[in-house]
């Protein structure tokens, strides 16, 4: 069963902070192992039906750690590790120096408290050049495995591409992170372009991608005619409002 219920945390606030951090780690590990067992045709439904409630439960634990005051170095270390989580911590794009400073504080605190004996997530490590790190999207953006004779993988790739674009546009990212997110998007775009479409829905997806690229060609002679041709094709597929 997915770990979505609220855990029973100790009454002592300091112990509860440690227990909440360990529970976050356990739930991320469950997600990692669960995604590895999914068939490509099951991934799209699973993201909303199974994985989202687990992410919501993790967010509630994160809020508990954020809002629980601490009076001990061990509790402070919990808070710093969550802030510096390597994949879902603070946005190190625009303020990478803040992450470096916090990492130094964490190192100092842990030199007193010792390294934790309970499970913890990886934290940001300052590089020699302090280059901003990619904050990974909190959902699967990998290129799905092909499903020959079926549109399942193509439609999963399009759903992930749309989610990735919306997530990326909602954030202010540094150039390094923007480039990395662009690489993820291009990998999904390439998969959609190279995967044969079987049914009308997948064919419409391909036309919609082509329409978006054609819309960027505002200064070319072929841009407007191509867009009209694509819209006509989408109308015939019953997807006229999609573009």
Q: Which long-range contacts (CB under 8 A, 24 or more apart) does 109-113 make?
A: 109/73, 109/76, 109/77, 109/80, 110/77, 112/73, 113/73, 113/74, 113/77
Q: How many domains does the chain have?
A: 2
Q: Are 19 and 92 within one domain? A: yes
For residue 234, the model assigns a pLDDT of 65
Identify whether 34 is part of a domain: yes
Choose the final residue of a domain: 113, 140, 165. Answer: 113
Q: Are 36 and 107 within one domain? A: yes
Place of tokens 């291009």: 186
Choose the final residue of a domain: 64, 92, 113. Answer: 113
For 7-39, how does the pLDDT look when each residue is reduced to its tens digit (9 = 90+)?
Answer: 788 889 889 999 999 999 999 998 888 888 878
Identify whether 209 is part of a domain: yes
Residue 242: φ, ψ to 5°: -70, -35
Whether 229 has a pLDDT exceeding 80, the answer reads no
Candidates 70, 94, 93, 141; CA nearest to 82 is 70
Identify whether 7 is part of a domain: no
Q: Are 159 and 109 within one domain? A: no
Structure tokens at 215: 């819309």
For 120-179, how does the pLDDT look when each residue is reduced to its tens digit (9 = 90+)?
Answer: 888 877 664 444 455 678 888 899 999 999 999 999 999 999 988 888 877 655 555 677
Identify whether 143 is part of a domain: no
For 77-86, how does the pLDDT look when each residue is reduced to its tens digit (9 = 90+)?
Answer: 888 888 888 7
Identify whether 106 is part of a domain: yes
Q: Are 17 and 101 within one domain? A: yes
> Quick one: average pLDDT of 35-48?
78
Identify whether 204 is part of a domain: yes
β strands within 23-122, DSSP E: none
> What single DSSP character describes residue 123?
B
For 76-115, how does the pLDDT look when each residue is reduced to its tens digit (9 = 90+)?
Answer: 888 888 888 877 777 544 334 556 657 777 887 888 888 8
Q: Are 98 and 174 within one domain? A: no
pTM for the predicted model, two decimal places: 0.46
Q: Which domain holds residue 225?
A: 152-236
């Amino acid at each position: 069963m997915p770990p979505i219920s609220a855990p029973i945390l100790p009454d002592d606030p300091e112990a509860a902070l440690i227990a909440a951090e360990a529970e976050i780690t356990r739930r991320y590990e469950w997600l990692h192992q669960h995604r590895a067992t999914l068939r490509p045709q099951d991934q799209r439904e699973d993201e909303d039906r199974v994985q989202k409630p687990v992410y919501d439960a993790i967010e509630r634990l994160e809020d508990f750690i954020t809002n629980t005051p601490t009076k001990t170095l061990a509790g402070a270390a919990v808070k710093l590790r969550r802030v510096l989580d390597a994949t879902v911590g603070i946005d190190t794009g625009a303020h990478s120096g803040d992450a470096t400073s916090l990492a130094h504080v964490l190192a100092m605190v842990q030199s007193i408290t010792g390294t934790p004996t309970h499970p913890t997530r990886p934290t940001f490590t300052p590089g020699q050049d302090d280059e901003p790190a990619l904050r990974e999207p909190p959902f699967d953006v990998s290129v799905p495995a092909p499903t020959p004779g079926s549109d399942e993988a193509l439609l999963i790739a399009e759903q992930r591409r749309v989610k990735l674009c919306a997530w990326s546009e909602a954030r202010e990212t540094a150039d390094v992170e923007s480039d990395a997110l662009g690489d993820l998007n291009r990998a999904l775009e390439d998969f959609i372009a190279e995967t044969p479409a079987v049914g009308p829905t997948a064919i419409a997806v391909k036309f919609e991608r082509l329409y978006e690229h054609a819309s960027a060609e505002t200064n070319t002679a072929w841009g407007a005619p191509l867009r009209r041709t694509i819209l006509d094709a989408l109308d015939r597929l019953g997807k006229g409002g999609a573009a």
